[in-house]
Structure 1
Amino acid sequence: MAKDSDRRDVWARQATDYALEHGLIGLSLRPLAASLGTSDRMLLYHFGTKDHLVAAVLRESNDRAVDGIAALAPSPDIRTAVHDLWAAVNSPAYEPCTRLYVEAAALGLLGQEPYVTVVREANERWLRSLVTHLTRSGVARPLAKRIATVVDAAFIGFQLDAPLDVGTAARRRKVTDLAEAVAGLS
């Protein structure tokens, strides 16, 4: 029989897969539990509250995105680094993580927990991953921190604008403009 912590970890990963497909807004425990082959009571037993489950989902999703950035090869220059980071953020594996983060951040802006706390934690880890990629790509750490902050803010804006964009060419131009702008910081 699996230990409770093992079961909790498995369910956190499976619940993350579910949330990446269905989103956080309107997340209901019964359909989630049914998709995991358990009951909402068992989820509450293992996670304590729905908020703790959501926090575990957000952490798992963020871990996946951070791992994706960590797996990137160093980029040859700042401009390429911006394009490489954007490609990773928008890859089929990690774009749903970004969408989930945007949902959580919006709910966090409204002061809802666990979103405020988990999004703050996620932001810190995410920015560190961007800084690490940039420094591995030859950018000095102080500059990498500045660039990571600008890139992160722009990427979130691009994500929010994505449904309004008229096509990939417009989005590609935005990323190229961002790459040029941050290259000018060096």
Structure 2
Amino acid sequence: MGRPPNPQAKAELLRRAADYVLRQGLTDLSLRPLAAHLGVSARLLLYHFGSKEQLVVEVLGVIAQQQQAALSQVDPLADPAERLDVLWARLTSPELIPFLRSLFEVELRAIDGEEHYRQFARGAIRAWLEVVAAHLREGVSAPTANIVLAALTGLLIDRFSTHEEERTNEAFHALKSALHAGGLL
């Protein structure tokens, strides 16, 4: 008879695996190097998670929770324009780059048709829409929040791939002006 599962050991492995994925990314994720980094065997990872895919799903869940915790703090008394500035500052902080990279990697894999990534991407996008809506004027429609999310996502990809901070900051301020003119801030 095998050992009974140890939830604390699994939780610790999951936390450490999430840290590893945030640093290394998903692109070349392999069980053996991950296990070696964690100081365990690949077999132990399979024991706790069942498959590499399930491990990835659970790791992404941890990453999403950490990301949402970093972004969901909103001052409801602040002016929506100020809230959007706070969101932009958080999104462009160096601390958030690993989270954004993991989200963008998931989205690319979902585009390639990998279903477990597609499921995760759907949930992540819904959570991001809630974050964006919380930073806009109350009552903004879901499609409008989606447009703002798409604009912010595009600016973030642009900023982190080109490292052109000044230009992307100017574009963010132009977006903010358009939102204000449209009565969304």
Give the TM interval when normalised to the shorter protein: 0.7 to 0.9
Distance in 1 (CA, whole Å) between partners of 2:7 and 2:134 is 31
Cα distance change of structure 1 residues 162 and 36 upon mapping to structure 2, 3 Å threshold? same
Number of matched residues? Answer: 181
Cα distance change of structure 1 residues 22 and 75 upon mapping to structure 2, 3 Å threshold? farther
Q: Does 2:169 correspond to 1:172?
A: yes
Q: Extract structure 1 runs of 4+ deviating beyond 4 A.
A: none
How does the TM-score come out when normalised to structure 1?
0.86
Q: Does 2:68 correspond to 1:52?
A: no
Q: Which residues in structure 2 correspond to 1:72-111 (within 5 Å)?
A: 72-74=74-76, 76-111=78-113
Render the CA deviation track for 1:2-59: whole Å, top value 9, x for unaligned.
9622222222211111111111001111111111111111111111111111111111
Q: Which has the higher contact order (CA 8 A, sep 6+)?
A: 1
Contact 2:158/2:168 (8 A) holds in 1: no
Name which one, 1 or 2, has greater alpha-carbon Rg: 2
Q: Does 2:147 correspond to 1:145?
A: no
* Cα deviation, residue 144, structure 1: 6.0
Contact 1:55/1:114 (8 A) holds in 2: yes
Gaps of 5+ in 2: none
* Cα deviation, residue 75, structure 1: 6.8
Contact 2:57/2:120 (8 A) holds in 1: yes
Distance in 2 (CA, whole Å) between partners of 1:94 and 1:163 is 11
Distance in 2 (CA, whole Å) between partners of 1:90 and 1:75 is 23
User: Residue 94 of structure 2 aligns to which amino acid in structure 1?
Assistant: P
Distance in 1 (CA, whole Å) between partners of 2:115 and 2:77 is 37
Cα distance change of structure 1 residues 87 and 144 upon mapping to structure 2, 3 Å threshold? farther
Cα distance change of structure 1 residues 131 and 7 upon mapping to structure 2, 3 Å threshold? farther
Distance in 1 (CA, whole Å) between partners of 2:163 and 2:123 is 33
User: Residue 183 of structure 1 aligns to which amino acid in structure 2?
Assistant: H
Identity of aligned residues (%): 32
Distance in 2 (CA, whole Å) between partners of 1:39 and 1:84 is 42
Distance in 1 (CA, whole Å) between partners of 2:50 and 2:5 is 16
User: Residue 145 of structure 1 aligns to which amino acid in structure 2?
Assistant: A
Cα RMSD, aligned residues only: 2.2
Q: Does 2:21 correspond to 1:19?
A: yes
Distance in 2 (CA, whole Å) between partners of 1:4 and 1:36 is 16
Instruction: Name the counterpart of 1:9.
Output: 11
